[in-house]
Amino acid sequence: MRYWEDVEPGATASFGSYLVTREEVVAFAEQYDPQPFHLSDEAAAQTYFGRLSASGWHTCAMTMRMLVDNMASEESAGLGSPGVDEIRWLKPVYPGDILRCESAVVDKSASRSRPDMGSFRSEITVLNQRDEPVLRMKSIGLIRRRPAE
């Protein structure tokens, strides 16, 4: 199990592989972000996107999936997150793109009110198959402290 004590500022990781499909882009947009350039090639061709592109919020959801899968593979003692400080959509994400994540731990702190937990801040960059950054965010993670033996 990976606990707060195991989180090291400066540590980096590379993980995930997410194939973006046209069907998923359209389904997400129909449900949550029904702007024309997320729904139709014809409408998208009239915009700077040039073709159907994923919603930025969909890109965040795909990123979350890769983060959670990575935490599960590490057997992290994660407790969720109080939020994200910053999100930037840097490039459009298109059907056929394959996304992956790179993360760097910025800092960590023990909870003053909950001695059984701590937090850490990370900078996360999502890249496409051409190693072009498509999303960057600063996240805060909550994590259990190692139980006393």
For the chain, the average pLDDT equals 96
Asked, for residue 44, whether it belongs to a domain, the answer is no
pLDDT of residue 127: 98
- The DSSP result for 38-85, as a single string, is HH-HHHHHTSTT-S----HHHHHHHHHHHHHHHHHHHTB-B---SEEE
Q: Is the pLDDT score of 149 beyond 90? A: no
CATH of the domain at 14: 3.10.129.10
Asked, for residue 48, whether it belongs to a domain, the answer is no
pTM for the whole structure: 0.93
